[in-house]
A and B are shown apart, each in its own frame.
Chain A
Amino acid sequence: MITKMQSRSLALAAAAIAVGVGSHQALATSQTGTAKAVILQAISLTENTNLNFGNILPPAGAANVVLTPANVISGPGFTFLGGNAAGNWTALGTAGQPAVITFSSGDTLTGPGTAMALDTYTTDAAATFGAGNTLTFNVGATLHVGSPQTAGAYSGIYTITVNY
């Protein structure tokens, strides 16, 4: 037979045990974490316009021609007679991601005379791919014209790499 005293003790003990068993859950707290991932598309690249220095009448003595991405051509002592165009490219990537553009070195234009070095590439590209996943930009460069430089048509290749 349980006395009143014993029952109260049992009740207290039961209550104490009940509190003890659930104590770590009452002290814990939960928080929502955010996880993000950007799925990157492999970049593809298309040349829209060849880079062209156009018709150039050189001065006496070797000198350089600079063509800017804005298609402004200049060089000391040269007469420029039109036909110049900055290179134009469209890269397809992932919207909002940074675009890193790099170029080859050691390129030349070859033709009837001595090869002319082509280097110091410049672009007007934005820092990131646009909302449509594309990045369209212009390319300029510097052409090292020799003296004498045999008249005629010269052409060559340069390499462009676009990365995230």
Chain B
Amino acid sequence: MLARGRSSALAAGALALVLGTPLALATTERGRASATILQGIVVTEAVPMSFAAVAPPPSGGAIVLSTAGTIRSSGGFVFRGTPAPGAFNARGLPHHPTSVSFSTGNFVTGPGPAMRLGAFTNNAASAFDGTANLNFAVGATLVINPNQTPGQYTGTYAVTVNF
């Protein structure tokens, strides 16, 4: 009887050590959390594209403006003034990869039939720089119609800068 009683007391003692761990054994710590909310890429045109002045042959034809601002064409064209590629600035995310894309179906309009503007080219880097900037030039091809009416022609096109 006595022996059994002592065993029971020991068992109860062991249970007491495992159940009901005091809160003094737990620990609480503070962790940090963060996030960076970005805005969409902002693109601004610094300099509009200009083919300057062109005297085409009666047959018309395509002229190509490079990102360096030079124009090449087939024979018979006379160029005057200073052509300029389009110049753009985009603000995105430092060092993040980026790509540039363009609209299609653009024209310049004026006194005569609309002239097709397309085949856009650009010299953008493949990523934003360390200050989140991307500066680039845009060239294009302008298709002049036969006997194109002289005068001022203007148009628009869309530039998209992607992450």
Which residues in A have some Cβ–Cβ distance to B below 8 Å? 28, 30-31, 33, 35-38, 40-47, 50-58, 65, 79, 81-83, 87, 89, 91, 107, 109, 111, 113, 116, 118, 139, 141, 143, 145, 149-164
Q: Which of A83, A157, A158, A164 contacts B36 (CB 8 A)?
A: A83
Tell whether, in the assembled complex, residue B28 and residue A156 are in contact, meaning their CB atoms are under 8 Å apart. no
Q: Is B78 in the interface zone, CB < 8 Å from A?
A: no
B28: chain A residues at CB < 8 Å are: 45, 159-161
Residues B31 and A109 in contact, CB atoms below 8 Å apart: no
Q: Mark B1-43, 1 if CB is under 8 A from A, else 0.
A: 0010001001101100110010111111111111111111000
When distances are taken between beta carbons in the complex, the residues of chain A under 8 Å from B142 are none
List 19 A-B residue pairs with CB atoms under 8 Å apart, sorted by A's residue number.
Answer: A31-B7, A36-B14, A38-B17, A40-B25, A45-B28, A50-B31, A50-B33, A50-B34, A51-B32, A55-B96, A87-B31, A89-B31, A154-B36, A156-B32, A157-B31, A158-B31, A159-B29, A161-B28, A163-B26
- Chain B min CB distance to A40 (Å): 6
State which of B7, B26, B93 has its C-beta within 8 Å of the C-beta of A33. B7
Q: Is chain A's interface secondary structure helix, strand, loop, or mixed overall?
A: strand
Q: Does the CB pair A143–B35 fall under 8 Å?
A: yes
Task: Contact check, B27 vs A154: say whether CB atoms are below 8 A apart.
Answer: no
Contact of A111 with B26 in the complex, beta carbons under 8 Å = no
User: Chain B residue with minimal CB distance to A29?
Assistant: B3
Q: For B29, B30, B31, B36, which residue has the most chain A Cβ atoms within 10 angstroms? A: B31
Chain A residues with CB under 8 Å of B39's CB are: 57, 151
